[in-house]
Amino acid sequence: MADQTPPVDEMNYEALAQDALRGVVRAALERAAMPEGIPGAHHFYITFVTRAPGVSLPPDILAKYPEEMTVVLQHQYWDLAVEPDRFTVMLKFGGLPKVMTVPYAAVTRFYDPSVQFILQFEARAAAPEPEPEPTPAPPPPSGDDGPKVVSLDQFRKK
């Protein structure tokens, strides 16, 4: 039997589908950003990776949620701005207003419990930052910076 290699998905359909479903999140947020706000009993739980590229959080919030966080948009949210690739919103934490910006690529879960609607996304991994090359330490000063001559006789077996 001949070995058959599986077909390669050069279209990357999985990523295309994830991007399309992130468009559903954007459309829901666009409705929530309208003057009348979120309609009916709808409300959103949005989970995202806090250290994903483009996420902007106040340092105290990032320290408290170093990997992932879920925010709720229901009654008390302000200045919701929906852009093609991200949203910005002001929420209160401990009674203090905090502004956050979240790219849709950082969202891992969108849930509207009023109608049991949920979307799960694969977290998009950030490109790993290259490790900096260690710089070699300069040799210690020897007092004599001239060329060195080493006799190999001292290393030979006798």
User: Over the stretch 53-62, which tens digit does the pLDDT of each residue have?
Assistant: 999 999 999 9
CA–CA separation, 69 and 48 (whole Å):
6
Is 111 strand, coil or helix? strand
**In this predicted structure, what is the pLDDT of residue 3?**
72
**Structural domains present in the chain:** 15-125 (2.30.30.220)
Closest-CA residue to 107 (of 30, 22, 31, 43): 22
What confidence tens digit (pLDDT) does each residue in 81-121 have? 999 999 999 999 989 999 999 999 999 999 999 999 999 99
Average pLDDT for the chain: 84
**In this predicted structure, what is the pLDDT of residue 153?**
57
Q: What is the pLDDT confidence band of residue 149, given thresholds at 50, 70 and 90?
A: low
